[in-house]
Amino acid sequence: MGNEEKIVGELKNKINIELSSFNKELGKAKNLTELGKIRTEFTGKKSFISSTLKNIGNLPNGIKPLVGKNLNIARKEIESDILEKEKIFKDIEYNNTLKKEILDLSLPGRLIGSGKKNIISQVVEEIEQVFIGMGFKIAEGPEVETDYYNFEALNTPKDHPARSLHDTFFISEDILLRTHTSPVQIRYMENHKPPLLIIVPGKAYRRDYDVSHTPMFTQIEGLVVDKDINFSNLKWTLETFAHEIFGKERKVRFRPHYFPFTEPSVEVDVSCNICGGIGCRVCSNSGWLEILGAGMVDPNLYSFVGYNPEEVSGFAFGMGIERICMLKYGIDDLRLFFENDLRFLKQF
C-alpha cells in the first residue's frame, strides 16, 4: 500500500470514529441547549472536520480532492442530523408553551372603536364647504408671526390702545404667536390683485384660559376685495353663512362695534336656539348669541399692500370655531374640546 493510500485510509477511519462519536452524543441530547454544544463540538472551528479542512493544503496534491469529498460528506451528514433533531426539540418546546398558556375561548373579544374626526375639524370643514360654495378660496399662513403683520399692517401701531385687548405670546420684541388669522389677509393681498375672495382657517394664540377662552383656539377669517363691494355684500354673505350653519329658521342681526382694521364694524348675532329668541340663561336673557365680528376693510390697510382705495373696497370677518361649535351643539365649556375625554368626543 502506497503512502497516499495509507493517509486516505487513516483519514476515513478517523471520520468514521468522529461520526460514531457524534451519533452517540446526539442520542444523549435532551434539549436545544445541549444540541447547540454538540453543533459547536462537531462543526465548529475547532472540530475535527473543520480543522482538517483548514489544513488540507498540507496533504499531497493527489489525495486532496478525495479527502475534501469525504470530509464534506461527513459534515453534511452531521448538519442534516442536527437540523432534524433541532426541529424535534423546537416542536416540543412549542407544545410545552401552549400547554402553559390558558386560553378562555368563552371570553368576549375586545371591541376596537372606530376613529372619528374631532368636532372642531368637522365644523371647520363644514364652514369651508359653505364658503367654497360661494366662490371663496382657502389661504394659509404662518402661526409664528411678526409684529408688523399681526398688528401694524392691520392698523394697530405699537401705541394703539387696541393692543391691550390681546394678551399676546411674544417670542421676542418683534416675533410672536399670531393672535388671530388676520395677518394672512395682508400676506395674501401683497401677492395677489383683486378680485379676492378668501377664507383663512387656522390656529391662533392668546394668554387666556377659562370656560370661554383657551390659550390656543381655531379661527376662520374671511376677506373680499373688489370693485364696488359694499355693506350689502357683507350682510348677504354672513346671513347666508349663518343660515347654512345654524338653520334657515334662525334670525340674524348686526350690531355696531369697533375693530381697528374695519370701518364700519359690526358684531353678528343669531337668535338663541334654546329659547327661540324669548330670553334665557344661555343668551343672558337677550334672545341673541354672538357668532362673529365683521366690517368694511379700513381703506388705510390698502396702503400696506399697494391697493388704491379709490378703485377697490372690501369687507372682512372673523369667527372662533370653538364658539361656533358651542352655539351649534349647546356645549357650555370651551375646555371640553381640548381635554381628550372620549365620552365627550364620541357624541359627535
The CATH number of the domain holding residue 130 is 3.30.930.10
Tell me: do 163 and 54 sit in the same domain: no
In a domain, 133, yes or no: yes
Q: Is the pLDDT of residue 103 over 90?
A: no
Mean pLDDT over 31-46 rounds to: 84
User: What's the rounded mean pLDDT across residues 304-310?
Assistant: 92
Lowest-pLDDT range, 107-111, 187-191, 208-212, 305-309? 208-212
Q: Are residues 57 and 165 in the same domain?
A: no
pLDDT of residue 127: 95
Domain membership of residue 29 (yes or no) is: yes
Mean pLDDT, residues 200-221: 83
pLDDT at 159 over 90: no
Do 57 and 126 belong together in one domain? no
| Residue 37 confidence (pLDDT) | 87
Mean pLDDT in residue range 299-312: 92
308 domain-assigned = yes
Q: Comparing 8-12, 164-168, 327-331, 337-341, which segment has the lowest mean pLDDT? A: 164-168
Residues 184 and 302 grouped into a single domain: yes
65 and 153 inside one domain: no
Rounded to whole angstroms, the Cα distance separating 327 from 260 reads 26
Do 178 and 287 lie in one domain? The reply is yes
Asked if pLDDT for residue 4 goes beyond 80, the answer is no
Reported as a single tens digit per residue, the pLDDT across 45-74 is 888 888 877 777 777 777 777 777 887 888
139 and 96 together in one domain: no
pLDDT for residue 291 is more than 60? yes
Domain count, the chain: 2
Q: What's the number of CA atoms in the CB half-sphere (13 Å) around residue 116? A: 14
Distance, CA of 266 to chain centre = 37
Structure confidence by residue, pLDDT tens digits, 310-345: 999 999 999 999 888 888 887 877 778 877 788 888
Report which secondary-structure segment, H or E, holds 324. helix 321-329
The DSSP code sequence of 119-187 is HHHHHHHHHHHHHHTTT-EE----SEEEHHHHTGGGT--TT-GGGGG----BSSSSEEE-SSSTHHHHH
Share of residues in the chain with pLDDT > 90 (%):
36
Whether residues 126 and 87 share a domain: the answer is: no
Rounded average pLDDT over 122-131: 94
Specify if 111 maps to a domain. no
Residue 163 has a pLDDT of 66
Give the H or E element holding residue 200: strand 196-205
> How confident is the model at residue 305, as a pLDDT?
92
Mean pLDDT throughout 198-212? 83
Whether the pLDDT of residue 204 is over 50: the answer is yes
For the chain, give the mean pLDDT: 85
H helices then E strands: how many in the chain? 11, 9
Amino acid at 212: S
Is residue 109 domain-resident? no
Q: Are 184 and 42 within one domain?
A: no
Matching residue, cell 403683520: 149
pLDDT value at position 282? 67
Please tell me whether residues 214 and 304 are part of one structural domain: yes
Establish if 30 belongs to a structural domain: yes
Query: What is d(CA 89, CA 74) in angstroms, rounded to the nearest whole number?
Result: 23
Percent of the chain with pLDDT over 70: 95
The pLDDT of residue 165 is above 60: no
Is a pLDDT exceeding 80 seen at residue 102? no
Residue 1: predicted pLDDT: 45
> Domain boundary at 72, 100, 128, which?
100
Higher pLDDT, 165 or 301: 301
Which structural domain, as residue segments, surrounds residue 289?
119-345
